[in-house]
């Protein structure tokens, strides 16, 4: 009778660990996808806002400041997005370490550090912010110079 109870106990333990693994994987997948979606949305918004001063419109010179406000808004949006990414990447890093630790224990995968996703995200967002800032300067020269 004790063998049956041991079997049930080990089965419940296995089910709990399997459920935990599924939750960790789902959270990892969600966080990673959320970071990518944020990057794509920031890029799209920055590009759309950045091209507004270059549209061929026959507006009076007084509207130049309004046209320039769109690329300035793009820079502000990227800055805000970078602030949000600090938190999102931190959460992703925590979940990733849990996931990789579990993989290492279950399958013997070597842990090779944290990976380069965070670094690539920061490089990309930094370049995007730089280009958006340069765009503001070029648009200002075009509109008022």
Residue pLDDT, tens place only, 48-72: 999 999 887 777 777 888 889 999 9
What is the reported pLDDT for 104? 78
Cα distance between residue 30 and residue 9, in whole Å: 31
Residue scoring higher pLDDT (53 or 114): 53
Residue 71 token pair: 């690329």
* % of the chain residues with pLDDT over 90: 53
Torsion angle defined by CA atoms of residues 102, 107, 113 and 119, in that order, rounded to the nearest 10 degrees: -80
In the chain, what are the domain boundaries?
2-144
* Whether pLDDT at 81 is above 80: yes
pLDDT value for 15? 53
């Amino acid at each position: 009778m004790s063998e049956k109870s041991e079997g049930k106990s080990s089965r419940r333990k296995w089910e709990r660990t399997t459920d935990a693994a599924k939750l960790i994987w789902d959270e990892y997948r969600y966080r990673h996808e959320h970071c990518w979606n944020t990057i794509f949305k920031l890029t799209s918004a920055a590009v759309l806002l950045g091209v507004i001063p270059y549209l061929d419109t026959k507006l009076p010179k007084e509207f130049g400041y309004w046209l320039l406000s769109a690329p300035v808004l793009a820079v502000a949006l990227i800055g805000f997005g970078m602030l949000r990414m600090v938190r999102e990447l931190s959460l992703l890093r925590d979940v990733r370490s849990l996931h990789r630790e579990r993989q290492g224990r279950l399958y013997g995968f070597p842990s090779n550090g944290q990976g380069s996703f965070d670094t690539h995200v920061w490089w990309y967002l930094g370049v995007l912010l730089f280009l958006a800032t340069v765009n503001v300067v070029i648009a200002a020269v075009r509109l008022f110079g």
